Amino acid sequence: MAKSLVVVESPTKAKTINKYLGRDYKVVASMGHVRDLPKSKLGVEVENGFEAVYETIPSRKKVLKEMRDAAKDVKDVYVATDPDREGEAIGQDIADELAGKHRRIHRLMFNEITKKAILEAIKHPGAIDQRMVAAQRARRVLDRLVGYKISPLLWDKVRRGLSAGRVQSVALKVVCDREAEIERFVPEEYWNLFARLAGPQPPEFEARLLKKEGETVKVGNEAEAQAILADLQDASLVVSSVAIRERRKHAAPPFITSKLQQTARFPVKKTMMLAQQLYEGIELPGEGLVGLITYMRTDSTRVSEQALDEVRGYIGRSFGPEYVPDKPNFYRAKADAQDAHEAIRPTSMQYDPEAVRRYLTGDQYSLYRLIWNRFVASQMPEAVFDDTTVDITATPRVAATASAVAYTFRVKGSVPKFAGWQAAYGGILTEPPEQPAAADSQDEASSGALPPLAEGTALDLKQLRPEQKFTQPPPRFTEATLVKELEENGIGRPSTYAQIITVLQAREYVRKIEGRFKPTLLGRMLVTDLLSPSFDDILDVDYTKRLEDQLDDIEQGKADYEGTLGSFYEKFKTDLARAEREMVNLKEGVKTEDICEKCGSVMLKKVGRFGPFLACSAYPDCTNTRELEKTDAAAEDVDEACENCGRPMVIKRGRFGQFLACSGYPECKTTRKLIATKQGLAAAKPDQILEERCPRCHANLIVKQGRFGEFTACSRYPECKYVKLKSTGVACPKDAGEIVERRSRRGKVFYGCSNYPDCDFTLWQKPIAEKCPECGAPYLVEKITRRHGRQLVCNNEGCKHVRSEELTPV
């Protein structure tokens, strides 16, 4: 029987740790939080020192019972929840539930799930940090006060389902402010002039016009560009200066959470999910579950001495002694870094990404390799380059010598001298030309290696090339750049970024267009019309950052729970009362300057189930409504007529998003799907009636556009629900039916018997009508991976037949 109980958060983590501790310890998982504020009420006694009333989460009652049963006969309980504020608060809840007269509660802290780290933590247990718990509780109460006080106000004034979280709202404002900046931006034209030149030795190179008569030249239009080109057609070009300097480029520090989220090619939520998997443990042959990386929620670049020694030894063995600096590289932490944990790094240098690749999914491998390379590179010397800057004087030959106009062209070249840390990424990285730092910056002419050039060298002009440019507005945020913006402004914490982004999209406050966030009209109205007039501080970036700093102060013992919440609530209470009186009521509608085209009455701006819209103020006598939100340009430009009555099709919004509907509704109920293309939204093709007949009712089949693309179905739907499925030409091994292509509820393709539901045979890989040459199985299956391309493999467990095939072009 186990003498001690260890409680962790996840089953995977429990399984990994149990392997290290042996039979004297029983390891169980809490499945995350076991208690929380109630959903049905505020759960905070404001007048009683902001005491939070926690209750057991219904789905955790069974887990808690199992934990209590496991703790009955043990004297020591070790709380091994995640080493952060959230984990500390979960640990306190578990301690409260399992505490007993003869039972001791200990806190285990470790940064990585390895045998050495776990056994060391067991030897030196600590106590739950009450200041960390208080900081987490304060954050939870702050979020609850904002969410549960403002959201009902929005339900009353706008519609149910809206929410206004403390950090979520300021993040939304950041996105809305960027969109407003883009709309205000006025592009300015400018021209770059390039000269393609050749020296005494190859290669040829391009230089950009920089100066005219010693002054920086700005070419604003085509006429100015053509005038300079005409002046330079017969110019003599001579190298006027060559400057060579050595440049050293330092490696980036090992990853912290926010930098990993910004650098990984995955959405933030997926990045954190993959990192959690790598942290909790991957099954390796002969070793069982092994944690491959350290804890993934950290804002510290600190690395333990043991890890530094190990990585320096690895670098010396793998790259040579010249790649090991005399001293380890240390990196300065952010001013507000909590520094509780190390940076994100591999737990051991014995688990090279290539050595464990076969045991990882493609996405796990990609993230693990990214973390590995960054960590190794961070302890290698600087990369060294020889940078060359060449100025070339161009003098028009036709000009009089005394009054000749001198033009200066410039080109920069960079030659790698020592790979340094870049060797960790497989060699010296090619450095792209630097992008303009500001909207009106001119583009540099940049080259890799330049030919040998010296002052006074005459050059041949091969070509003059003008290039028209326009200044660009700031781009919309991607997930990575939004995380960067939130981090730099101290909004939230890296552990909350994934949830913030998820909520903004789930509430339809922002949409992703080509991977970038655009606020919806509902999102902008929430910020400008509803929250800004009354809750300016809630939306203020600096105010939100100060609140985060105050939570840090609670953790460090510099501030107290009640005082922090009290100072916040004093102003918030006043703002809330004002909002109840003054916030616009979009349920009743706000008058606009638009006039109803049917009856001439004023149109009202309202918010309905599917977003903002205009409705006639003469309702119910006039039921005219109009879409208010402008859609993407491609959708606005759809010039479609109804195929049934010839009237124009208009864009509407429904349960599943935007669609085209006949403007003659309700007399004509024709609708058409809008589909995403590279250019934006476009109208789907109209339904196409086929001569082929339905095998069930003999009506014509029809090609329709569905949620997941085109499909063929009976034209008598919904009376007849026949759908023609794509055949694979392979017979079902269970009942000799036909294996056909199907889709799951989420749109994922799989293959199943055409006699479903009588036959439940399914496959996830596409079956190929070809017998296995080794075991005689009636079919092979297609397997496509990034590493091996297309392979045909046998589906029988005992057969290992594999054949590589070329991918068929689509």
Q: Name the token pair of 630.
A: 């402008």
Catalytic residue, chosen from 54, 295, 569, 779, is 295
At residue 757, the pLDDT reads 79
d(CA 516, CA 513): 5
pLDDT over threshold 90, residue 170: yes
At residue 657, the pLDDT reads 64
Tens digits of residue pLDDT in 569-594 = 999 999 999 999 999 898 889 999 99
Q: How many residues does the chain have?
A: 810
Under the banding of pLDDT at 50, 70 and 90, the label for residue 143 is very high
Are the C-beta atoms of residues 337 and 401 closer than 8 Å to each other?
A: no
Write out the H or E segment, with its range, that includes residue 258. Answer: helix 257-263
d(CA 287, CA 347): 14
Tens digits of residue pLDDT in 222-254 = 999 999 999 898 899 999 999 999 999 999 999
At residue 340, the pLDDT reads 61
Give me the long-range contacts of 61-66 (CB less than 8 A, separation at least 24): 63/29, 63/30, 63/31, 63/34, 64/34, 64/97, 66/28
Question: Mean pLDDT across the stretch 507-529?
Answer: 90
Under the banding of pLDDT at 50, 70 and 90, the label for residue 677 is low
d(CA 571, CA 566): 9
Q: Name the token pair of 255.
A: 């990853």
Beta-carbon-side half-sphere exposure of residue 461 (alpha carbons within 13 Å): 21
Instruction: Tell me what percent of the residues of the chain surpass a pLDDT of 90.
Output: 53
pLDDT over threshold 60, residue 373: yes
Under the banding of pLDDT at 50, 70 and 90, the label for residue 634 is very low
Tens digits of residue pLDDT in 97-119 = 998 778 899 999 998 888 999 99
Question: Mean pLDDT across the stretch 517-545?
Answer: 90
Are the C-beta atoms of residues 468 and 217 closer than 8 Å to each other?
A: no
At residue 639, the pLDDT reads 66
Question: Mean pLDDT across the stretch 440-460?
Answer: 77
433 or 638, which is more confident: 638
Write out the H or E segment, with its range, that includes residue 729. Answer: strand 727-731
- DSSP string of 648-683, one letter each residue: BEEEEEETTEEEEEETTTTT---EEEEEEETTEEEE
Write out the H or E segment, with its range, that includes residue 172. Answer: helix 166-184
d(CA 353, CA 645): 62
d(CA 723, CA 745): 15
Highest mean pLDDT among 403-412, 515-524, 671-680, 734-743: 515-524
pTM as predicted: 0.75
Position 739, amino acid: I
Verify whether residue 295 is a known catalytic residue.
yes
Beta-carbon-side half-sphere exposure of residue 104 (alpha carbons within 13 Å): 10
How far is residue 412 CA from its own chain's centroid? 35
pLDDT over threshold 80, residue 517: yes
**DSSP 8-state symbol, 419:** -
Tens digits of residue pLDDT in 122-133 = 999 999 999 999
At residue 668, the pLDDT reads 84
Under the banding of pLDDT at 50, 70 and 90, the label for residue 435 is very low
d(CA 136, CA 139): 5
